[in-house]
Chains A and B, each alone.
Chain A
């Protein structure tokens, strides 16, 4: 429990559909430790993204207890969850979700502005994060001028710039080709190893699975398998 990043007990998530409810997550129990590189794997509709959203405080559980970074999400207000995300979490989305009117630098800078980081320190951290993902030559480009891989690298830089304890990535390679996918995964593995940042991926991409050290299989809203991998196929 001391190093626990996420603890989930008896999580149920239902969505209203017409006059009825669709149960997306059924009695999920899960514990993730600091520095884990975990994948939520399963077919479409298995509940991966829903689980990721609940962990990120973007969605609330219908039943059960979810504790993230020692905060019980059920007992926190909207503002407290926003603060938790702002200070301790990073998000990587399948469609990047970069702000189109901002440059690479400005997109990466945004979490630091929200955290009221001093401008000088901000510049340093943003430059460092951009260097890390290898986009120094695109620092003043807007998302429309970037390739898919470059957009996702910008999104990763944005997710890591404030060095959060937990990064949630929803299908981060779904829109990328094989070469870009491997490149991005290598960056994230490096971050995980150097900063001990915990990663949770929602994916059904085989390329990602090769890098994971823990794979949680979901099917029809339930965890059907929780697999620890000592030697990932990628060799990380």
Chain B
């Protein structure tokens, strides 16, 4: 009986129903989109790091600590034969890391110089741009932010100074052969990339490497000597920690969005119900009990939430899908790492099942509460007062 009346009321109220449903659907949309953007930003940072830097994992020289540049001096050796075999099969590539100084435009800049195999296609870096270039002494690949900081352009030459394995300082001329545009600022800021063989020669570390990055889907090799296997989970642990530390912010943002949505829904529902005080009085005069009046309006709220969920799918579903495929242009370039996290120019929201289900449940509960509370208050009034429209918010 209540269901039939609730359906009649909802369909009969036409514009009022659709306004309430639209406000609720808009809330669903906003919460899902903004939370998905937030999740997308974090997911993207992880994906870009894996795609451009980590691949399936790496074997580290036991002395290597990327957070401590002082270790670079000793963190080099010929990789174990099993690891070298992966390199020979094209399933891994070695990187030789050392400290260096560059002197662009008369300035001195400390950098991390990394020798990398130009032919590698395991990580998404334009290392093939380092190939060839017989005409230059040291071909150098740098990122856009680094180029901006050092005021370097393609073809510019500058002095590179390094300490080789014999603890001898040496210097030569590097030439920028390509400026890469990468979302991973960790490959860009303070880094110069040169061909591996050139780096090995310069540093007097023939055949040596600091770490070897291997392709995704490979398992850890046996007989890896004292080299330490580092899987993806380990290599993104800092980012995971950053994301975990950011969880309270994400939760706060979710709650703020819910509060905004709640206020919108509350206004729409409360105004709608209090406007119907006389109608509630009439229903009571016709013999509807208080519990049924409250039940009717709460049920209407529930149906409102259901309609809103359907409307969200119909009206905002294509918008969410479009953003999910094409991303949302942020309008700001964070490739210099100013955010402390990799942030893309086109942010692709990630719609997790958990987010959609949680949002649907939470918003529905809000709708039910803001339908239940005012109708209960009106139903507790004397029918004579409700009939006279003596209802105050």
- Chain A residues proximal to chain B, CB less than 8 Å: 53, 56, 58-59, 78-79, 82-87, 89, 91, 93, 97, 99-102, 106, 110-111, 113-116, 158
B279 pairs with A99, CB closer than 8 A:
yes
CB-CB under 8 A for A111 and B12, given A58-B383, A59-B384, A97-B278? no
| Count class of interface residues, chain B | 20 to 34
B384 pairs with A53, CB closer than 8 A:
yes
Q: Which residues of A contact B383 (CB under 8 A)?
A: 58-59
CB-CB nearest in chain B for A99? B279
Q: Which residues of B contact A97 (CB under 8 A)?
A: 278, 281-282, 285, 387
> CB of B382 within 8 A of chain A?
yes
A86 pairs with B288, CB closer than 8 A:
yes
How long is the Cα–Cα vector from A107 to B34 in the complex, in angstroms? 44
B8 pairs with A111, CB closer than 8 A:
no
How long is the Cα–Cα vector from A52 to B279 in the complex, in angstroms? 19
CB-CB under 8 A for A113 and B1, given A86-B286, A102-B8? yes
CB distance from A82 to the nearest CB of B (A): 5
CB-CB under 8 A for A113 and B5, given A59-B384, A82-B289, A97-B387? yes
CB-CB nearest in chain A for B279? A99
How long is the Cα–Cα vector from A53 to B282 in the complex, in angstroms? 13
How long is the Cα–Cα vector from A59 to B285 in the complex, in angstroms? 11
Q: Which residues of A contact B14 (CB under 8 A)?
A: 101
Closest 4 CB pairs of A and B: A86-B287, A101-B12, A85-B287, A58-B383
Q: Which residues of B contact A113 (CB under 8 A)?
A: 1, 4-5
How long is the Cα–Cα vector from A122 to B286 in the complex, in angstroms? 16
Q: Which residues of A contact B284 (CB under 8 A)?
A: 58, 82
CB-CB nearest in chain B for A170? B387
From A87, A91, A101, A111, residue with most partner B Cβ within 10 Å: A101
A58 pairs with B285, CB closer than 8 A:
yes
Instruction: Count A-B contacts at CB 8 Å.
Output: 69
> CB of B13 within 8 A of chain A?
yes
CB-CB nearest in chain A for B9? A101
> CB of B191 within 8 A of chain A?
no
From B4, B8, B278, residue with most partner A Cβ within 10 Å: B8
A114 pairs with B287, CB closer than 8 A:
yes
How long is the Cα–Cα vector from A93 to B388 in the complex, in angstroms? 11
Q: Which residues of B contact A85 (CB under 8 A)?
A: 285-287
How long is the Cα–Cα vector from A113 to B283 in the complex, in angstroms? 12
> CB of B76 within 8 A of chain A?
no
CB-CB under 8 A for A114 and B286, given A58-B383, A58-B384, A97-B387? yes
How long is the Cα–Cα vector from A115 to B292 in the complex, in angstroms? 13
CB distance from A160 to the nearest CB of B (A): 13
Q: Which residues of A contact B384 (CB under 8 A)?
A: 53, 58-59
> CB of B290 within 8 A of chain A?
yes
CB-CB nearest in chain B for A155? B282
CB-CB under 8 A for A79 and B289, given A99-B279, A99-B282, A102-B8? yes
CB-CB under 8 A for A111 and B286, given A97-B278, A102-B12? yes
CB-CB nearest in chain A for B285? A91
From B9, B278, B287, B290, residue with most partner A Cβ within 10 Å: B287
- Could you list 24 A-B pairs, sorted by A, with CB under 8 Å? A53-B384, A56-B285, A79-B289, A82-B287, A83-B289, A84-B287, A85-B286, A85-B287, A89-B287, A91-B285, A93-B285, A97-B282, A97-B387, A101-B9, A101-B13, A101-B14, A102-B8, A110-B5, A110-B286, A111-B286, A113-B1, A113-B5, A114-B286, A115-B287
CB distance from A89 to the nearest CB of B (A): 8
Q: Which residues of B contact A78 (CB under 8 A)?
A: 289-290
11 additional A-B pairs beyond A113-B1, A115-B287, beta carbons within 8 Å, are A59-B384, A79-B290, A82-B289, A83-B287, A84-B287, A85-B285, A86-B288, A97-B278, A97-B281, A114-B286, A116-B1
Q: Which residues of A contact B290 (CB under 8 A)?
A: 78-79, 82
CB distance from A178 to the nearest CB of B (A): 27
From A58, A59, A115, residue with most partner B Cβ within 10 Å: A58
